[in-house]
Structure 1
């Protein structure tokens, strides 16, 4: 079965994002637009007034236009039925997500479960050369004749952008495009905080190193081959905020007979800090033990390097 997803756009009556007054949706199946929905909505009662200054930005929808339209709870049923559980795409998706959430809040109905992608996030990932990633700019780029603030046209523009991104990346599905660009779909639901569509953040080199170190098993001390008169022979050594790779240092310390401790405990006899001016949690713990009479030496990384060179 061909992958299906939908794109949607809302217009609102006033500055409250829950004052939804018109909705447009398109359905995509097998890489083509296959169905459309466009209708007016009566804004929920607490925010049902129309701000005339917003008319240029909502297609000029008026109270008369929505007089006989469905109220939000009924329109929400139509929206979810049209989507059929498929992912929903929108341009600047967090804003459209907020429309759904606030309209539901004003109407006293639960927020539906929706998996939501953002054509802005995907376009930023692929079209890094674009001067901006506004809907008008991107629709002009792909040659789509946008009738801006007509929600059906805006929704279709968002869909056409994603379809072009899929074509350029050679990925026939929305899921494949997200995987290719390392993008995570957002989600809303009745019992969850909204999670927005976003690029996965690559862990920083520092975090990656810390993660590797936290999972690594320290090597056993080489007591058979190390010099028993060496300063680290039989010592229990803990490292704190060193510039060199800890796993590499662990190996060198073990080679001269030292036992590695990941954390400062009563068994630690040597704490190595990056430099003597560094104040770390491990150093504070070691100083607490020193104050209680525990024999813990605190040396810096340069001193450790000298010991290792002499013991090599």
Structure 2
């Protein structure tokens, strides 16, 4: 499937890894959010060129047979980078940013200068009542916000992170000062 094209408000990105090594990316998923809030998703399997750990296979269902014939990170990254570099990125926790940086190091690729933002931070402001009450992880937000997605699939998790940001914008719309303070660093804006 070709990469999404055009201009987006932001792109949510999620990765799955083959083992405890954060460079072992075996799937990348994107959720590209347009000005009208529509979301275009994309994903690809990646051959991590590392052994898979049983725990990770059980978690996301991706194993050596699944990625047989898939491109490597070094084969995909040059095509992805131009799209990602021109948009604000959203990740749910800092794991994805660290995994991308580790994969770039492992494959001898230059460090990418990307604008990373964290939907966990946005969720903490939008739903402070969840602290100590299930938290702000995607699993709990799935229940609280009635999101429909398959957890631990990179494309689905990216879409869920994008939906968290969009729902937070709606929730914070009644408190513009708070909304701008939270969303300004993310280069996101409330619809007029």
Correspondences of 1:22-171 after superposition (within 5 Å): 22-43=27-48, 45=49, 48-57=50-59, 59-83=60-84, 85-92=86-93, 94-130=94-130, 131=133, 132-170=135-173
1:144 CA displacement: 1.1
Q: Report the CA distance shift for 1:134/1:116 in structure 2 as closer, same or farther (over 3 A).
A: same
Q: Does the 8 Å CA contact 1:5/1:83 hold for their aligned counterparts? A: no
Structure of greater Rg: 1
SS state at 1:65 partner: helix
Per-residue deviation, residues 93-115 of structure 1 (Å, max 9, x unmatched): x2111101110111000121110
RMSD: 2.3
Distance 1:153 1:34 in 2: 11
**Could you tell me how far apart the structure 1 residues matched to 2:38 and 2:68 are?**
30
Q: How many residues align?
A: 176
User: For residue 5 of structure 1, what is the aligned residue in structure 2?
Assistant: 10
TM-score scaled by length of structure 2: 0.83
Q: Is the 8 A contact 1:20 1:41 kept in 2?
A: yes
Structure (1/2) with the larger strand percentage: 1
Q: Deviations over 1:182-217 (max 9, x none)?
A: 7745xxxxxxxxxxxxxxxxxxxxxxxxxxxxxxxx
Q: Distance in 1 between matches of 2:143 and 2:114?
A: 29
Structure with greater contact order relative to length (CA < 8 Å, sep ≥ 6): 2
Residue segments in structure 1 that go unaligned for 5+ positions in a row? 186-312
Structure 2, unpaired ranges of 5+: 1-5, 187-192
Q: Judging by fraction of residues, say which structure has more helix.
A: 2
The TM-score with structure 1 as length reference comes to 0.52
Contact 1:26 1:33 in 2 (8 A): no
